[in-house]
Amino acid sequence: MRRLSYRYQRTICRPVEVSGIGFLTGATVRLMFLPGPSDSGVVFERRDLRPVVSIPARVEYVTGTERRTTIGKPPHHVGLVEHVLATLAGLRIDNCVVQLDAPEPPGLDGSARRFVEVLNGAGIQLQGARRAICTSVCPVVVSRHGATLKLYPGEDQLKISYLVDYGLGAPIGRQLRSQIITPEHFANDVAACRTFILESEAVELRRQGLGARTTAADLLVFGRRGPIDNRLRYADEPARHKILDLIGDLSLFGHDLRGHLVAYRSGHPLNVELAAILTRALQGQSLRVNKAA
């Protein structure tokens, strides 16, 4: 990894609140975004615990990547952080305290649209400290179980290309989306894209006791003929949502990234693995290409 340049850090001007139902617990969740001091990064605070537990949103604090990204060790943890992190990273809000009264943010409609609205309403201000803008010195590849995530070096922008491919006969067709990532593009082209799952996956999650207060109308559940009790906002909404998740997970790297990310069926495990590799490389360790069977 190498540092290309720097920019001034940013935070919000005032606290703002979002409330809603948690997808996992079914609890009513209250979330507060508060301004953070320079160089503090994003920190989640579990205000429902005594004493209050603070968990930095950094890759070394990740404890789970199965179907969602979790930071902190249970019971002092927060799950499904990727949509909040994607919003903060997408809007280039570097320092923020995220207060919660539950082990997850509100699920809302499965997208980041409401988070964008409240954070833009709070206003964004520059801070005195600087944030590094980095790129890789060579292509970096992580792969596992037929999924691949590759970062190509670049200096001008961050571009993400995502290929969704569930195979022949799947209810979700093959989709490719390429997206330049800026605050404007994130807000206009990515933020409104919702979490999606197959009907069979929804049944299994319900069997596990998850999503008790969530219906097919609250996110995208794909049956054999397409979304159940819902309609797509974009023809390629699943691919765009995968880009949203990738932005959130890679924000755990803690620096701005430039280059071209190409993802094929990548999910939270590969996303977080790449963030960890880039973090080690920037800290001076050797950059290794990590491939797993």
SS3 labels along the chain: CEEEEEEEEEEECCCEEEEEECCCCCCEEEEEEEECCCCCCEEEEECCCCCCEEEECCHHHEEECCCCCEECCCCCCECCCHHHHHHHHHCCCCCEEEEECCCCCCCCCCCCHHHHHHHHHHCEEEEEEEEEEEECCCCEEEEECCEEEEEECCCCCEEEEEEECCCCCCCCCCEEEEEECCHHHHHHHHCCCCCEEEHHHHHHHHHCCCCCCCCHHHCEEEECCEECCCCCCCCCHHHHHHHHHHHHHHHHHCCEECEEEEEECCCHHHHHHHHHHHHHHHCCCCCCCEECC
Greater confidence (185 vs 201) lies with 185
Find the catalytic residue in 83, 241, 260, 268. 268
Query: Quick check: is 268 catalytic?
Result: yes
At which residue do the structure tokens 């995208």 appear? 220
- Domains, the chain, in order of start with CATH, read 2-291 (3.30.230.20)
For residue 55, pLDDT over 70 is answered with yes
Is a pLDDT exceeding 90 seen at residue 73? yes
Residues 6+ apart with CB under 8 A from 18: 30, 31, 33, 105, 106, 108, 114, 115, 118
Angle between helices 82-90 and 113-122 (to 10 degrees): 50
229-274 pLDDT, tens digit each: 899 999 999 999 999 999 999 999 999 999 999 999 999 999 999 9
pLDDT at position 232 is: 95
Buried/exposed code over 87-113 (b: 16+ C-beta within 10 A; e: otherwise): bbbbbbbbbbbbbbbbbbbbbbbbbbb
Place of tokens 């390629």: 236
Span of 23-27, 42-46, 233-237 with lowest mean pLDDT? 23-27
Q: What is the pLDDT of residue 216?
A: 73
